Amino acid sequence: MIATRFAPSPTGYLHLGHAFSALTGWHAARPAGGRFLLRIEDIDAGRCRPEFEEAIFEDLAWLGLDWERPVRRQSDHMADYAAALDRLDGLGVLYPCFCTRKAIQDEVAAADRAPHGPDGPLYPGTCRALSPAERREQIANGGAYALRLDAAQAARHVGALAWEEAEVGTVPVDPLLLGDIVLARKDIAASYHLAVTVDDHLQGVTLVTRGRDLFHATHVQRVLQALLDLRPPAYCHHRLLTARDGQRLAKRDKAETLRALRASGRTPAEVRAMAGFPDSRL
Ligand code: GLU
């Protein structure tokens, strides 16, 4: 049975782009009798607000969507991410990183050829080179640290990988694409990539429907699935809706929030049509 999910972060009000994403997931599952799940991605307590979570439920229900309960809220499941980190640590693919953001920027600026990924410079690997004694010393001195994935080590571990992408077919994984990503932040004992990978598995998601902006993330999430021995879902990275000026819709585009559209008198059917689902069978 197909299971899809919509996984917003409660950092602002949902806009038309979110409606498109949620409707894409819902339509990929529900008409065929499959499951549609909702997940609140709120590990970043500093950016998330309860009122935005409430608004997510309200706006999606208004739009006409239904979803399975209980809803998974990531901040309630930190123990699951800790268990995954333990397992990765046991494989020897993690290392502590004591760098500040500023130290990383300086290092990148000073390097002749800093490694770059699709979204800019990658972590230059400074703390990967620390000896066990240096790590112990930093920790003993109270140095706060993140945990990073040693991408090269992980790549050796998992060998060649791929994922199945709707309409495109098999996509080969580049395990080094995003470099040594953070799996546990200094201030939060998890990270986006880790939590998403663990949750898609625990929620039984079989098809991840999400925007093309997250296509690159799948390379590293597929590596994490392999390291953690999880069955990979299939993927559908859908197009992104754009505003009239051609720019991608973002949470800051207040005028396009679902609440603003609703307040201006639009009906749910009209908003579904605006999001590209005119014949929605909701
Ligand atoms: N929480 C992420 C976002 O709001 C989406 C994560 C995902 O779909 O994998 O952009």
CATH of the domain at 17: 3.40.50.620
Among the three residues 127, 149, 184, which one is the final residue of a domain in this structure?
184
pLDDT on residue 243: 72
Domain count, the chain: 2
Neighbouring C-beta atoms of residue 173, cutoff 10 Å: 22
111, two tokens: 């390097």
SS3 177: coil
27 domain-assigned: yes
Q: Given a cut of 70, is residue 255 above it in pLDDT?
A: no
168 domain-assigned: no
134, two tokens: 């240096």
pLDDT over 90 for what percent of the chain? 89
pLDDT single digits (tens) 202-213: 999 999 999 999
pLDDT over 70 for what percent of the chain? 95
97 domain-assigned: yes
Judgement on whether residues 46 and 87 belong to the same structural domain of the protein: no
190 domain-assigned: no
For ligand 1, pick from 41, 73, 248 the residue to mutate: most ligand atoms within 8 Å of CB.
41
Among the three residues 137, 152, 184, which one is the final residue of a domain in this structure?
184
Lowest-pLDDT range of 2-6, 57-61, 162-166, 244-248? 244-248
Judgement on whether residues 111 and 249 belong to the same structural domain of the protein: no
What is the span of the domain harbouring residue 125?
A: 79-162+177-184
pLDDT on residue 53: 98
For ligand 1, pick from 40, 74, 192, 193 the residue to mutate: most ligand atoms within 8 Å of CB.
192
3, two tokens: 């299971």
Give this prediction's pTM. Answer: 0.95
Burial 199-237 (b: 16+ CB within 10 A, else e): bbbebebbbbbbbeeeebbbbbbbbbbbbbebebbebbb
Question: From the CA of 224, how far away is ligand 1's center (Å)?
Answer: 17
Among the three residues 184, 216, 235, which one is the final residue of a domain in this structure?
184
Neighbouring C-beta atoms of residue 168, cutoff 10 Å: 12
pLDDT on residue 50: 97
Q: Given a cut of 90, is residue 74 above it in pLDDT?
A: yes
pLDDT single digits (tens) 168-185: 999 999 999 999 999 999
